[in-house]
Amino acid sequence: MVSSSNLNKEEAMPDVVRHRFLPPFWRYLFIAFTLISTFLAVNQIFGLELFVGVVLLDSRYHYLLLGLLLSLVFIIFPATPRPAGQAIPWYDYILFALTLGLSAYFAWNAVDIVEMAWEFAAPDEAIYMAILLWLVMLEAVRRAGGLAIFCIVLVISFYPLVADKVPAVVAGSSMSFTDAAAYHVFSAESLMGIPMRAFASLVFGFLIFGVALQKTGAGKFFLDFAFSLLGHVRGGPAKVAIFSSGLMGSVSGSVITNVLTTGVMTIPAMKRTGLPSRYAGGVEACASTGGVLMPPVMGATAFVMASFLGIPYIDIAIAAAIPSFLYFFGLFIQIDAFAARHKIVGIPREELPKVRQVLKEGWYYIAVFALLIFMLAYLRQEAFAPFYATVLLLAINQISPKHRMSWADFVEFIMASGRLLVELMGILGPIGLIVGALVATGMAGTFANDLVFIAGGAPLVLLLMGALTSFILGIGMTVTAAYIFLAVIMAPALVKVGMDPLAVHLFILYWGMLSFITPPVAIGAFAAASIAGANAMRTGLEAMRLGTIIYFIPFFFVFNPALIMSGPWFDVVALTGSAILGVVLLSAGLQGHLLFVGTIMPGALEWPTRVLLVISGLLFAMPGGELIGVDNTTLNIAGLVFGFPAALLIFGKRRTNPAQA
């Protein structure tokens, strides 16, 4: 599982690299630091107490991880995009040594930091070191996360210095420069706050598990399995993309990585069966985006969410199950409708892998997922689960002659894990400064009241404000960074007007992801367009149309939390069934073919019929509740009023033109 991140410009330019190619010494040191970090994580998470006579406080463990991983940011991420073969400059050596030394000092004094409350009364030399670490983290987040995140962290982390001088609506308690530095580095609310705790206790293991899946061939297994099941049906390769990219995206956690790995196989297969290039790219972009929202593993953001809400991660995965299903079901039905309308057939069975052979070669991936889900759902050991699953996967993989790792493969697995850990540490550590600044100034509490006042206490206005803000931040920041910022600022305001806390946090996550498929940015769609050889903007528009349902689903589960399995089972089942029917009708209106009825014939009544189906679909999918002041029965009756005439029109045309059905 890799962090959800924006497409960096250098990824699209072959003459420069985002990660340096390390010379042998630094390569060995990088591997050593990765292994030591993993050893520390295993020791702390499992409570092994392998350091005899030394109590490894959580804060000491966090400072040690910070030193080992943040220091490597300056070794693997160049200050600017550079040709692959360039040597490490002298100033990166200094930043590496400085980060390592500062973190070692704080780790050594971890007990004093806690017992003597250094965030309020630190020694002078510690304050100077805290200032240095603050500045170092700003440069680290610039390299690892990009300029947009750097600017946001820079402005907000320095906000406590001027909090009493800004307009009243965003004013708070101010602090001196030295007090702010001490608070950022030593308090449990900033650098050592929720993002760091989530990374060190939950995210760490799942990152390694995701890399293990990628390096042992899970992507090819998911793809072959999907082709063996669905490749022969109409629109088969596109349905394969949904299945395989959804599964791989669930464990990779990155839209761009998923597009660039599974897309190189699914997009050519889709084009081969007659799907337009832009449509093939849009399908892959939507599937990869949805994968990040799909249980059982949803990416780093879901684990940070669990820490914010103080609930087990499995509760979030369960809550995301129905919305995720509705999204992928909507994609599936739209693709089926498009294929039916345009007579696009699947791939001949004889050219596809056999289900039995695929399962014979990759059965252990299913076994590993079964173990992971068992430990998450039944044993509720989310911190332990990915480590056990990774060990089982690597052990069984070595028995398989097809995917067995060589020594060089294993080294690359460690390097890939290290790069991922370093990148996320370079983002999540500094992102903690945002939380710390807002808590220190009191803005985390008062801003919710200000937002409620601005919205006039209207929940729908607040929701629209939250959706727009989440979308805008999702353009310039990683989804995790945008989520953390909004979880502090926006979520309390939405909860304050009576919305379900879990629904609110999922709402923010979903809308933060939408920038990946929404023009003018749509970086997930643009990455897919480059593989498909299609126009980037047209691919983005196609992805936006295919992913239409995801723009509404977050509103639906906020309107009625039964769609995140919060409420009586009768309501959950009834609303889910109504939503499924709504998705079918909405997809028919968007693609021009109604399942089990037929194709909407061209002519004067085509677009009125489509509009009726879209309205009917939205009415069936939308759950009733107090928030919108309409009950489910009324919405369903209204859906019938719009949908029944549309179905009659299609059926009537089908009878007069049976060849077009």
What radius of gyration do the chain's Cα atoms show? 26
Q: Which pLDDT score, from 0 to 100, does residue 575 have?
A: 94
Q: Which pLDDT score, from 0 to 100, does residue 658 have?
A: 52
Q: Which pLDDT score, from 0 to 100, does residue 244 have?
A: 83
Report how far residue 594's alpha carbon sits from residue 372's, in angstroms, rounded to the nearest whole number. 38
374 in any annotated domain: no
Report how far residue 214's alpha carbon sits from residue 489's, in angstroms, rounded to the nearest whole number. 36
Report how far residue 406's alpha carbon sits from residue 178's, in angstroms, rounded to the nearest whole number. 51
Rounded to 10 degrees, what is the CA torsion of 652, 655, 660, 661?
80
Give the best-scoring range by mean pLDDT among 102-116, 212-226, 401-415, 510-524: 102-116
Q: Which pLDDT score, from 0 to 100, does residue 573 have?
A: 93
What are the structure tokens assigned to 123, written together?
């020694």
Give the tens place of pLDDT for each residue, 478-493.
778 888 888 888 888 8
What are the structure tokens assigned to 603, written together?
């002519």
Report how far residue 630's alpha carbon sits from residue 623's, in angstroms, rounded to the nearest whole number. 9
Give the tens place of pLDDT for each residue, 394-411.
999 888 777 788 899 999
Report how far residue 395's alpha carbon sits from residue 23's, in angstroms, rounded to the nearest whole number. 30
> Regarding predicted confidence, which is higher, 252 or 125?
125
Give the tens place of pLDDT for each residue, 39-66.
999 999 998 877 756 657 889 999 999 9
Label each residue of 18-37 as H, E or C: CCCCCCHHHHHHHHHHHHHH
Confidence of residue 443 (pLDDT cuts 50, 70, 90): confident
Nearest in space to 499 (alpha carbons), one of 526, 459, 539 = 459
Which residue has 């399942």 as its token pair?
595
Q: Which pLDDT score, from 0 to 100, does residue 53 have?
A: 60
Least confident of 75-84, 156-165, 196-205, 232-241: 75-84
Report how far residue 573's alpha carbon sits from residue 560's, in angstroms, rounded to the nearest whole number. 13
178 in any annotated domain: yes
Confidence of residue 83 (pLDDT cuts 50, 70, 90): low
Give the tens place of pLDDT for each residue, 260-316.
878 888 899 888 888 899 999 999 999 988 888 888 778 778 888 998 899 998 899
Mean pLDDT of 222-236: 88
Report how far residue 418's alpha carbon sits from residue 75's, in angstroms, rounded to the nearest whole number. 12
Number of helical (H) and strand (E) elements in the chain, helices listed first: 32, 2
Q: Which pLDDT score, from 0 to 100, does residue 656 have?
A: 56
Report how far residue 250's alpha carbon sits from residue 327's, in angstroms, rounded to the nearest whole number. 14
Q: What backbone phi and psi angles, to 5 degrees, belong to 17?
A: -130, 155
Dihedral sign for Cα atoms in the order 303, 306, 312, 317: negative
Q: Distance of CA 212 to CAs 38, 386, 407, 587, 610, Å?
A: 14, 10, 14, 37, 46
85 in any annotated domain: yes
For residue 3, pLDDT over 50 is answered with no
Report how far residue 68's alpha carbon sits from residue 32's, in angstroms, rounded to the nearest whole number. 10
Where is the domain boundary, 196, 212, 247? 196
For residue 579, pLDDT over 90 is answered with yes
Burial of 406 (0-12, 13-18, 19+ CB in 10 A): exposed
Where is the domain boundary, 180, 196, 212? 196
Give the best-scoring range by mean pLDDT among 1-10, 130-139, 397-406, 461-470: 130-139
Give the tens place of pLDDT for each residue, 322-362.
999 999 999 999 999 988 888 888 888 888 889 999 898 88
378 in any annotated domain: no
611 in any annotated domain: yes
Q: Which pLDDT score, from 0 to 100, does residue 12 have?
A: 37
Report how far residue 419's alpha carbon sits from residue 30's, in angstroms, rounded to the nearest whole number. 9
DSSP secondary-structure letter at 596? T
Burial of 517 (0-12, 13-18, 19+ CB in 10 A): buried
Rounded to 10 degrees, what is the CA torsion of 632, 634, 638, 639?
20
Average pLDDT of the chain to the nearest whole number: 86
What are the structure tokens assigned to 222, written together?
């998911």
Dihedral sign for Cα atoms in the order 409, 412, 414, 417: negative
Give the tens place of pLDDT for each residue, 418-431.
999 999 999 989 99
Q: 452 and 493 in contact (C-beta within 8 Å)?
A: yes
Confidence of residue 181 (pLDDT cuts 50, 70, 90): very high
> Regarding predicted confidence, which is higher, 17 or 76?
76
Q: Is 29 helix (H, G, I), strand (E, B) or coil?
A: helix
Where is the domain boundary, 173, 196, 219? 196
What's this model's pTM, rounded to 2 decimal places? 0.86
**Domain span at 17:** 9-196
Nearest in space to 247 (alpha carbons), one of 292, 193, 282 = 292
Least confident of 7-11, 150-154, 233-237, 406-410: 7-11
Q: Which pLDDT score, from 0 to 100, does residue 8 have?
A: 38
Q: Which pLDDT score, from 0 to 100, does residue 171 have?
A: 80
Q: Which pLDDT score, from 0 to 100, does residue 4 have?
A: 37
> Domains in the chain: how many in total?
2
109 in any annotated domain: yes
Q: Give the list of residues 6+ apart from residue 327 with CB closer than 8 angstroms, or none.
A: 290, 293, 547, 549, 550, 553
> Regarding predicted confidence, which is higher, 312 or 477?
312
218 in any annotated domain: no
Confidence of residue 133 (pLDDT cuts 50, 70, 90): very high
- Length of the chain, in residues: 661
Report how far residue 236's alpha carbon sits from residue 226's, in angstroms, rounded to the nearest whole number. 9
Report how far residue 446's alpha carbon sits from residue 444's, in angstroms, rounded to the nearest whole number. 6
Q: Which pLDDT score, from 0 to 100, does residue 252 have?
A: 66
Q: Is 539 helix (H, G, I), strand (E, B) or coil?
A: helix
Dihedral sign for Cα atoms in the order 76, 81, 82, 88: negative
Angle between helices 24-45 and 407-440 (to 10 degrees): 60
608 in any annotated domain: yes
User: Where are the alpha helices (H) located in 343-478, listed in sequence order?
Assistant: 355-373, 385-399, 407-440, 443-454, 459-476
Please report the DSSP string for 428-464 in residue order: HHHHHHHHHHHHHTTHHHHHHHHHHHHTTT-HHHHHH
